[in-house]
């Protein structure tokens, strides 16, 4: 089970330079002295997160769209996480360490450890895409969007930060929307405001699961919610 996965004690124990070396003045490999410049050391942290990233397709789409943001996938299955690590490494090598420097992945159970990784109000975007449906009623509490977990997500998100969801399971979509609608810290972003957002296309067509659904001719439902500005709405 996930009890054997090591978890950082708190956010100060996460060394992001291991995941994004070129953003921290650390060489990508021993031959490459180009990046070995202490001046480049930064306090950068991830601002975009893909919860349950699976095989990581979305990370690669986001990498080029947001070259200056650190993007993190989180995944609980070890083999799948290792696959993503390998894919990121080989993509970096194939690009001569020019591309995919801003994406990384950790193996963790996000339901329990999100606050061990992200400081309060540090995230711009969270993606929760094609989540496991947990169809049976007694398993609904295991869903990745619940009132409690939305409060956890709200703590990590900046004001105005967004949660993006997509799924081919209508029942799950309805559950996710219902919980976000009822949550006092979130409001839906209207369709007309999201029509120019490239993330919509990435999440409904670009993830591995989205591609599978498209091949089988299925439908995808999506939503975008943002963390309310409580000062404004007072
Ligand atoms: N988002 C990906 C996509 O669209 O292709 C993968 C979707 S897959 C159906 C759901 C993923 O969430 C699985 O890879 C699963 O292992 C992962 N997952 C489920 N519960 C999780 C948890 N508590 N923490 C991290 N990952 C989780």
Neighbour-count burial of 160, counting CB atoms closer than 10 A to its CB (0-12 exposed, 13-18 middle, 19+ buried): exposed
Residue 178 has pLDDT above 50, yes or no: yes
Q: What is the CA radius of gyration of the chain?
A: 18
Range of the domain at 79: 2-233
- Of 1, 76, 87, best ligand 1 pocket probe by most atoms within 8 Å of the beta carbon: 76
Annotated ligand binding at 76? The verdict is: yes
Q: Give residue 49's region: left, alpha or beta (phi > 0; psi -120 to 50).
A: beta
Residue 148 has pLDDT above 90, yes or no: yes
Give residue 40's pLDDT: 45
Length of the chain: 234
How many domains does the chain fold into?
Answer: 1
* Overall pTM surpassing 0.90 (yes/no): yes
* Torsion of Cα atoms, 175 then 176 then 182 then 183, to 10°: 150
Give residue 155's pLDDT: 98
Give residue 36's pLDDT: 45
pLDDT in tens, 168-177: 999 999 999 9
Percentage of the chain beyond pLDDT 70 is 92
**CB of 61 sitting under 6 A from ligand 1:** no
Residues 6+ apart with CB under 8 A from 58: 50, 73, 127, 129, 202, 203, 206, 207
**DSSP state, 38?**
G
Average pLDDT over residues 180-207: 96
Give residue 39's pLDDT: 47
Residues 6+ apart with CB under 8 A from 214: 205
Three-state DSSP at 75 gives strand
Give residue 234's pLDDT: 63
Let me know: does 93 contact 82? Beta carbons within 8 Å.
Answer: no
Give residue 37's pLDDT: 44
**CB of 207 sitting under 6 A from ligand 1:** yes
Give residue 35's pLDDT: 47
**CATH code for position 147:** 3.40.50.150
- Of 50, 82, 127, 132, best ligand 1 pocket probe by most atoms within 8 Å of the beta carbon: 132
Residue 88 has pLDDT above 50, yes or no: yes
Which residue owns the Cα nearest ligand 1 atom 14?
Answer: 54
Average pLDDT over residues 93-107: 97
What is the rounded average pLDDT for all residues in the chain? Answer: 92
**CB of 52 sitting under 6 A from ligand 1:** yes
- How would residue 3 be classed by pLDDT, with cut points 50, 70 and 90? confident
Strand order in the sheet with 70-75: 103-107, 70-75, 46-51, 123-129, 157-167, 221-227, 186-188
Percentage of the chain beyond pLDDT 90 is 87
Average pLDDT over residues 182-208: 96
Paired with 173 in beta bridges are none
Structure tokens at 228: 């309310």
**Which of 41-45, 125-129, 217-221 has the least mean pLDDT?**
41-45
**CB of 113 sitting under 6 A from ligand 1:** no
Average pLDDT over residues 97-114: 97
**Which of 35-39, 92-96, 109-113, 195-199 has the least mean pLDDT?**
35-39
Average pLDDT over residues 136-141: 94
pLDDT in tens, 14-30: 999 999 999 998 876 65
Residue 48 has pLDDT above 70, yes or no: yes
């Amino acid at each position: 089970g996930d009890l054997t996965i090591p978890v950082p004690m708190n956010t100060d124990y996460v060394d992001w330079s291991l995941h994004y070396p070129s953003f921290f003045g650390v060489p990508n490999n021993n031959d490459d002295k180009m990046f070995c410049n202490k001046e480049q050391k930064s306090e950068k942290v991830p601002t975009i997160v893909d919860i349950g990233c699976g095989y990581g397709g979305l990370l690669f789409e986001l990498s080029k769209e947001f070259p200056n943001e650190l993007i993190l996938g989180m995944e609980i299955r070890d083999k799948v996480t290792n696959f993503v690590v390998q894919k990121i490494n080989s993509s970096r090598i194939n690009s001569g360490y020019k591309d995919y420097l801003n994406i990384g992945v950790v193996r963790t159970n996000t339901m329990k450890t999100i606050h061990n990784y992200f400081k309060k109000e540090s995230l711009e975007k969270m993606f929760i895409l094609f989540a496991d449906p947990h169809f049976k009623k007694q398993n609904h509490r295991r869903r990745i969007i619940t009132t409690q977990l939305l409060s956890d997500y709200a703590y990590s998100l900046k004001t105005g930060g967004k949660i993006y969801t997509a799924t081919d399971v209508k029942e799950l979509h309805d559950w996710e929307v219902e919980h976000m609608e009822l949550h006092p810290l979130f409001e839906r972003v209207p369709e007309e405001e999201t029509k120019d957002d490239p993330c919509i296309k990435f999440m409904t067509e670009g993830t591995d699961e989205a591609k599978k659904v498209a091949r089988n001719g299925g439908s995808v439902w999506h939503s975008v919610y943002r963390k309310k500005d409580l000062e404004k709405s007072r």
